[in-house]
């Protein structure tokens, strides 16, 4: 198939592009490189440096005529959304609407969207959270992701555009950034490799559901060949604290580091964990990587990447 991946130069998007190319699809990448890296893009894919909010997106759709569209382009920082909710909404809501309009206009057969499980559910009394649970996004980032899901549902009902919204838990793995917008795993590994203390916001007892990037890519690939329409959690169903993740990474790296606790960040969830039972039942997907296996593969990549930069 001809597949367009918005955000295909990013952490998750570039892994997805690699898999789609390997599967034999013709892949088009659209990315403004605000977070993604050009060197992440598979050379077999066509690349357009463009923003999903821009009018240029229509020219790309008109030329390429994609059959399926993956939208992974987004503001990825919860903290930035709190500081600048308008910018977050421009990217995550107006950008999404532009993608949807082009899908409708140029007759795409399906759109698959990268949503956020933790951000749309926020703190809930029942864990692991299920898709049938009420959503209550706490941050502007969570609100924008939930809004995008509602637009997907609207375009399906009005225009018949099939969709899947995959609510991802906390994704980690090779190529993840280790800067301020990086995930806990990548930030911790980077600091430990640099022999720097690991900073933990709050007491470190906040929990997350950590899922390896290759399992996420498998979920996207599975969704490509499904007739189902709707929202699915993509997660492990395992709740781990930040302190536990630090201990696992530190042990993997021969207990070389130490942690320093800093004040908690505003808007930070206390607990997050998602059930993937619906995805297993209806999509036939389930995670394959244990946290130990995923951390080992991620550490190997970070270590190799560090050596290559020297």
pTM metric for this prediction? 0.95
State residue 274 phi and psi, 5-degree precision: -120, 145
- Confidence check: pLDDT of 4 > 60: yes
In the residue annotation, 232 being an active-site residue is answered as no
Given 48, 106, 121, 141, which residue is catalytic? 141
**Mean pLDDT, all residues of the chain:** 94
Note the pLDDT tens digit of each residue in 139-154: 899 999 999 999 999 9
Note the pLDDT tens digit of each residue in 199-211: 999 999 999 999 9
Note the pLDDT tens digit of each residue in 272-299: 999 999 999 999 999 999 999 999 999 9
Span between the terminal Cα atoms of the chain, in Å: 40
What pLDDT score was predicted for residue 256?
A: 79
**Judging by beta carbons within 10 Å of its beta carbon (0-12, 13-18, 19+), is residue 266 exposed, middle or buried?**
exposed
What pLDDT score was predicted for residue 181?
A: 56
Two tokens, residue 144: 């924008």
For the ranges 53-62, 247-256, 261-270, the one whose mean pLDDT is highest: 53-62
Note the pLDDT tens digit of each residue in 61-81: 999 999 999 999 998 888 788
CA–CA separation, 118 and 272 (whole Å): 6
- Confidence check: pLDDT of 120 > 80: yes
Relative orientation angle of helices 242-252 and 184-193, to the nearest 10 degrees: 40
Note the pLDDT tens digit of each residue in 170-200: 999 999 987 655 689 999 999 999 999 999 9
Domains of the chain in start order, with CATH, are: 2-169+212-235+278-282 (3.40.50.720), 172-207+239-273+289-309 (3.90.25.10)
């Amino acid at each position: 198939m001809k597949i367009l991946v918005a955000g295909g130069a990013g952490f998750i998007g570039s892994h997805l592009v690699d898999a789609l190319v390997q599967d034999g699809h013709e892949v088009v990448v659209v990315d403004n490189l605000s977070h993604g890296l050009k060197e992440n893009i598979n050379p077999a894919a066509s690349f357009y440096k463009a923003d999903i909010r821009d009018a240029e997106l229509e020219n790309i759709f008109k030329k390429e005529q994609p059959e399926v569209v993956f939208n992974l382009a987004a503001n990825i920082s919860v903290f930035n959304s709190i500081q600048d909710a308008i910018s977050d909404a421009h990217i995550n809501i107006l950008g999404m609407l532009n993608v949807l309009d082009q899908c409708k206009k140029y007759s795409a057969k399906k759109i698959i969207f990268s949503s956020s499980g933790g951000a749309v559910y926020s703190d809930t009394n029942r864990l692991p959270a299920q898709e049938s649970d009420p959503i209550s996004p706490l941050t502007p980032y969570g609100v924008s992701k939930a809004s995008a899901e509602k637009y997907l549902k609207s375009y399906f009902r009005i225009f018949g555009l099939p969709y899947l919204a995959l609510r991802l838990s906390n994704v980690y793995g090779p190529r993840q950034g280790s800067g301020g917008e990086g995930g806990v795993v990548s930030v911790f590994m980077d600091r430990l490799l640099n022999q720097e203390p690991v900073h933990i916001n709050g007491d470190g007892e906040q929990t997350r559901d950590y899922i390896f990037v290759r399992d996420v890519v498998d979920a996207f690939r599975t969704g490509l060949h499904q007739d189902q329409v709707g929202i699915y959690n993509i997660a492990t169903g395992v709740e781990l604290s930040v302190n536990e993740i630090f201990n696992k990474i530190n042990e993997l790296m021969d207990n070389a580091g130490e942690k320093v606790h800093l004040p908690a960040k505003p808007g930070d969830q206390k607990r997050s964990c998602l059930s993937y039972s619906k995805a297993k039942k209806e999509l036939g997907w389930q995670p394959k990587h244990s946290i130990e296996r995923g951390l080992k593969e991620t550490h190997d990549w970070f270590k190799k990447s560090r050596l290559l930069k020297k």
